[in-house]
Amino acid sequence: VARLSGKEPVGITTELLQKRLWTLCPNKREILNLSNFDRILIVVGPKFLLHFYFKGLKYPGLKTFEPHKGGQILLMNVLAETPHPVELKIEGGFDLDSFNPHGISFYMDKNESIYLFVVNHPEGKSAVEIFKFFQDEKYLLYIRTVTNELLTSVNDILAVGPEHFYATNDRYFRSETVSVYVEMFWGLSWTNVVYYSPKKVKEVASRFYSANGINMSPDGKFIYVADILDHSIHVFQRMSNMNLSPVKVLKLETVLDNISVDRRNGDLWLGCHPNAAKLLSYDPKNPPGSEVLLVKDILSDKPKITQVYVDDGSLIQASSVAVMYGGHLIIGTVFQKALFCHL
């Protein structure tokens, strides 16, 4: 349980929370009433800005408020006067009934065609689904499903080619019971990062307690991996053979979930859990809190870490991701709502 505990946001009154929220969002703020708003993806092109989301994740041990509803991928124009997500239609014979989306990434080719890579857990298994996005018609075309014996418990994904990606495995054992009571409480660092290409699949980093969110520096030279149970970000240099060479580990005083990278300046925006133990034993009267950290100059000797947002679950519960773009901050959650701010 200690590994699931960060710094609890104690002593935060509703009045103080509202002051912090007003400081964070002085112009406009909106609660998007969407459950499982767990991952957020920004795609920036020469003539467009796209925000993709998914909802409907059902993950072992975590609360879900819509257990019988299938997964969805949504698109939102964050620059609109009143942003509202719209579900994207998926064509090409994809099995929507078993769609259980988790991580999400994208690859844009030289023709500016956009391919979405989505981690899927159909019937508790792990797969990576590849779709092509048609921007004018606003739909996804199912391309293929990727499975492999090394992709055992995929949490997040980072696309680096048309059929190439890095993936984090967050558990060693497939059994939920064994995973929680053996890996977590015995402190086993047996999870890893896998590189996949059609010609070769290999482990490229290992010895994580639970490898979670993954992302990349704007220049593509460094890979960032969140170890949710170690309260840390692992920084790797990306080698020409796609192996990952360790550079440093940044320790945090919270439970880090997902990493978003600001493509303009390389800043890291982190969705965190002040006390993630509450995720495993959900109590609506004592809900899990939310926290967002900003990390500047992570490659320097002294990175600057700023707590941008924190609350005790009164406003949004179990923040898992935060994305900043053009004066807009969106905070997504594991199983509840999302907070949208115009800064």
Residues 260-277 have pLDDT tens digits of: 999 999 999 999 998 888
Provide the domain limits for residue 141: 14-342
Are the beta carbons of 105 and 165 closer than 8 angstroms?
yes
What's the CA gap between 68 and 335, in Å, rounded? 14
Write the pLDDT tens digit of every residue in 61-100.
666 666 667 788 888 776 677 777 788 999 999 998 889 8
Place 334 in a pLDDT band, splitting at 50, 70 and 90: confident
Q: Could you tell me the CATH number of the domain that includes residue 182?
A: 2.120.10.30
Higher pLDDT, 324 or 27: 324
Known active-site residue 121: no
* Residue 5: inside a domain: no
* Residue 149: inside a domain: yes
* Residue 66: inside a domain: yes
- Of 102, 121, 234, 328, the active-site residue reads 102
Write the pLDDT tens digit of every residue in 162-182.
999 999 999 988 766 666 667
The reply, when asked if residue 155 is annotated as ligand binding, is: yes
The reply, when asked if residue 215 is annotated as ligand binding, is: no
Place 32 in a pLDDT band, splitting at 50, 70 and 90: low
Are the beta carbons of 24 and 329 closer than 8 angstroms?
yes
Place 10 in a pLDDT band, splitting at 50, 70 and 90: very low
Mean model confidence pLDDT for the chain: 84
At residue 82, the pLDDT reads 72
Which helix (H) or strand (E) segment holds residue 17: the answer is: helix 14-24
* Residue 85: inside a domain: yes
Higher pLDDT, 119 or 34: 119
Which helix (H) or strand (E) segment holds residue 90: the answer is: strand 89-91
Q: Is the pLDDT confidence value at 113 over 70?
A: yes
Query: What would the mean pLDDT of 286-308 be, rounded to a whole number?
Result: 95
Domain count of the chain? 1
Is the four-CA dihedral 67, 272, 24, 14 of positive or negative sign? positive
* Residue 7: inside a domain: no
* Residue 199: inside a domain: yes
Task: Render the burial of 102-135: b for 16+ CB within 10 Å, e for the rest.
Answer: bbbbbbeeeeeebbbbbbbbbeeebbbbbbbbee
pTM of the model: 0.89
Write the pLDDT tens digit of every residue in 206-256.
999 999 999 999 999 999 999 999 999 999 999 999 999 999 999 999 999
Query: What would the mean pLDDT of 112-136 be, rounded to a whole number?
Result: 93
Place 335 in a pLDDT band, splitting at 50, 70 and 90: confident
Residue in the block written with tokens 């999400």: 104
What's the CA gap between 146 and 248, in Å, rounded? 31
At residue 173, the pLDDT reads 80
* Residue 1: inside a domain: no
* Residue 9: inside a domain: no
The reply, when asked if residue 311 is annotated as ligand binding, is: no
At residue 206, the pLDDT reads 97
The reply, when asked if residue 243 is annotated as ligand binding, is: no
Percent of the chain with pLDDT over 90: 52
